[in-house]
Amino acid sequence: MTWTVKLYPDTLKVNGASLSFIGRPDGQQQKYVFYCRLKSKGQQELLQHSIKPINAKMSGKLDHFLPTTNVNQFDMNRYYHHQKIQKAFIAENLTIMGPPVHLSLIDRIHMLRSRFNQYCDHLPKTLSLYATGLISGYRPTHFFDEMAGVKQLGLLHVFSISGMHVAYFLTIVDQLLAILELSRFKKAVISITLLGGYFIFSGGSPGLLRAVMMAIIAILNRLFRINLSKLDIWSLSLMLNLMILPEAMFLMGVQLSYLLALGLIVSEKLTYFKQTILLNLLTVPILLFHIYEWHFLSVAVNLIVLPLFGKVIFPLVILGVIVGMFSLWLVTPVEWLLHLFNDSLNWISGLPGLIVFGKPAFWIVLMMLILTFLLVIVSRRAVKYVALGLACLYVGTFMVIHFPLHGEVTMFDIGQGDSFLIREPFNQNITIIDTGGKVHFNSQPWQKESRDYQAKRLSINYLKSIGVSRIDNMCVSHQDADHCGDLPAFIEEMNVRRILIPLGMDKNPGFMNRISNRKQSTKLICV
């Protein structure tokens, strides 16, 4: 089948010769995920540097997302289903037709976002990442490599455009509208219209939908003097979300967005210290359920970083973006400060304190959240009993996950290659035999993709979900990429104590390069 599709450059993911994006074919309401292999460097450069939307013809076939074949691996089918996307379109041929003759308002907003992202590419590296992450909601492929500390310390909610960013945007809009002598009704209409534009400009994520809906309801509440409370506004937003996009409630970002918003409402009378502790406690069950780990220092970091972010970092980024239009030399101090801040987060995240907890059961997560909210609701005398119950629930769940009564032998379905787990009872000894990996064939420089280890989504994800953070014996049968290609991912994500290899394999430069980033405590044993 052949479809005509409008490509928005700001939503395209170009990784070497691979192209992927979410879009709608002309004349259809259903969204699909499109995958395509680019034929030439010219196509790649056109898509990467274009600002205007592009009409293209794509020939290929519809296909279902691959089902999950390993426990707790990333479920692409479920992830896209929660965004009302049921199928993928695998394109065999891409024909670029050029920009549309007439541009709609939505097209122009996407153009503005593309122009902003391309402008940020010319800014210093750290400022560029912060500007796109905080203002346009765009994350390049190397975002998490540079922002490892942000991810490990649980600060992703700061970079996920939501309430704080919408509040900043509305503050700027209100100050500009205050100059104009307009009626309250006209100001409200302009604010709501600009909020809709900001929703598209910032990527239109499901998590942002909550913040925008609450802001619009709050504007209407003030305009018509309905006297809705903050909790009423939150509840209306939740009901609207359940009607418009109910599937999104299963996404971690949306769950965190609603929980943190509710946490702010119920804890508004608490001191800043107590409120921050509560908000961190609310995020922990969700993080454990989805990513299985939590950094102990994240509470202390959030206490310091959250006010610093709102009062220093965000204004600094906006200042850097504006000043960069006139002189890149003038943004050097801003880049230096942001780089220092980011390096500090990366350094802190490297300190001991990362707890690979494992995946608690759904009902356990609900109990954790209920007990956390009870800390605020119950009387002072009852707080210590609720806190004790919550602590016992965490400790008990941790013990059950980390000290299983039975061992296991598991074979991972990793496509090409093999990988096995041998785990003794009580996690006394963990052995992995081969890691699997992807064989990379010779290709032109423009076709090379950024390194992506599938073990992070498959075997490592499973290991973390069962509370495993160390590997006692990493056995490598031979040097082929389909057997040890993902070994660097295990060295990066796990505490590998011993790597066992065949005699003479330590003389192979290709293999030794794979394990060059291993810790000094990791022993290399030839057998």
pLDDT number for residue 417:
62
Please write the tens of the pLDDT for every residue from 60-107: 999 999 888 888 888 888 888 888 899 999 999 999 998 988 899 999
d(CA 299, CA 457): 27
pLDDT number for residue 6:
93
pTM: 0.89
Give the number of C-alpha atoms closer than 13 A to the C-alpha of residue 157, restricted to the C-beta side: 26
Please write the tens of the pLDDT for every residue from 370-416: 999 999 988 888 999 999 999 999 999 999 999 999 999 998 887 66
Give the number of C-alpha atoms closer than 13 A to the C-alpha of residue 154, restricted to the C-beta side: 30
- Give yes or no for a contact between 136 and 203, defined as CB atoms under 8 angstroms apart: yes
d(CA 496, CA 389): 35
Q: How does DSSP assign 326-388, residue by residue? A: T-SGGGHHHHHHHHHHHHHHHHHHTSS-EEE-----HHHHHHHHHHHHHHHHS-HHHHHHHHH
pLDDT number for residue 161:
65
Please write the tens of the pLDDT for every residue from 298-332: 888 888 888 888 788 888 999 999 999 988 888 99
Q: How does DSSP assign 429-484, residue by residue? A: -EEEE-----PPPP--GGGPPPP--GGGTTHHHHHHHTT--EESEEE---S-HHHH
d(CA 208, CA 198): 10
Please write the tens of the pLDDT for every residue from 22-62: 999 988 889 999 999 998 888 999 998 899 999 999 999 99
Confidence of residue 361 (pLDDT cuts 50, 70, 90): very high
How high is the mean pLDDT of the chain?
89
Where in the chain are the domains?
Answer: 2-102, 113-352, 362-402, 408-526
Please write the tens of the pLDDT for every residue from 150-186: 878 877 777 776 777 888 889 889 888 888 888 899 9
Please write the tens of the pLDDT for every residue from 455-506: 888 899 999 999 999 999 999 988 887 778 888 889 988 999 999 998 888 8
pLDDT number for residue 514:
85
Burial of residue 356, with CB atoms counted within 10 A of its CB: 0-12 exposed, 13-18 middle, 19 or more buried: buried
pLDDT number for residue 366:
96
Q: Does domain 2-102 have CATH number 1.10.238?
A: no
Instruction: Give the CATH fold of the 408-526 domain.
Output: Metallo-beta-lactamase; Chain A (3.60.15)
Query: What percent of the chain clears pLDDT 90, i.e. is strictly above it?
Result: 50
